[in-house]
Amino acid sequence: MDLQLQGQGAVVFGAAQGIGAAIARAFAAEQAKVALLDRDSLVHTTAQALPGAFGHVADVTDYAAMQASAEWCQERLGRVDHVVFAVGIGSGKYGYPFWNLEPSDWPRVFEVNVIGAVNVAQAFAPRLAAARAGTLLFLASVAGQIGSQTDPPYSASKAALINFMQCAARDLAAYGVRVNALCPGMVQTALNRSVYEAWAALQPEGHKQTYEQWAGAKVQRVVPLQRWQTPEDIAHMAVFLASDRAAHVTGQTINVDGGYVMH
């Protein structure tokens, strides 16, 4: 599908691997100019596989680094039209019931998933507003809509991210800038596997399951379409939301989840 993104500048945070890398590839397939950013130096390898793409190492929790990254992206791409925040971490623990966690398990998750998003938005929003065009997309999660018992810090942080998206959408609408949240459902990522590993560590020997058994049973139980979503499924929606075909879509939480959450 030609979404007419040729020559436009797209910046993807969390682009070293997983969903973020898939989104960067999707923008590149639409012939956009792409900057891939991540705190993992693997981002350089991922960028090298894409024609004309640039890789840059930066930590979203460092606001000064985000300001410098905005300048770097502008210089490399010539223009910044679309910014995607595809960063997310969990607590690394199985959170049911929530009081099995410690209060100290929460701050780092919020620092990355919420404050990181705010830092990126603060750095790039003035440029988008000055251009009076463009999009800002936050990768949230269905967990932010259902109060997931699996990892309460992650779930609550993604709910906060959805609310911040709505605040940003209202503020930037007057400048012609659209802001949305995209919520993956069940995707086989390193984060999804880490949830399994935290669960498996608590199981008695006779109750242990492989990742494939555990995740497959969950997909069958909670996803009406009864199949995994892929990083590419999420990426297809991300580039659509960046295009003029979604010109009237802002302030929305879009699920790509096989029917996991229905409103």
**Catalytically active residues, by annotation:** 154
Please give the angle made by the CA atoms of 201, 206 and 210, to the nearest 5 degrees: 55
- What are the structure tokens assigned to 245, written together? 């075909």
- Burial of 250 by CB count in 10 Å (0-12 exposed, 13-18 middle, 19+ buried)? buried
Largest CA distance in the chain: 60
Binning the chain into helix, strand and coil, the percentages to the nearest 5 are 50, 15, 35
In the Cβ-directed half-sphere of 64, how many Cα atoms lie within 13 Å?
A: 0
Whole-number Å distance between alpha carbons of 116 and 65: 11
Determine phi and psi for 35, rounding to 5 degrees. Answer: -110, 125
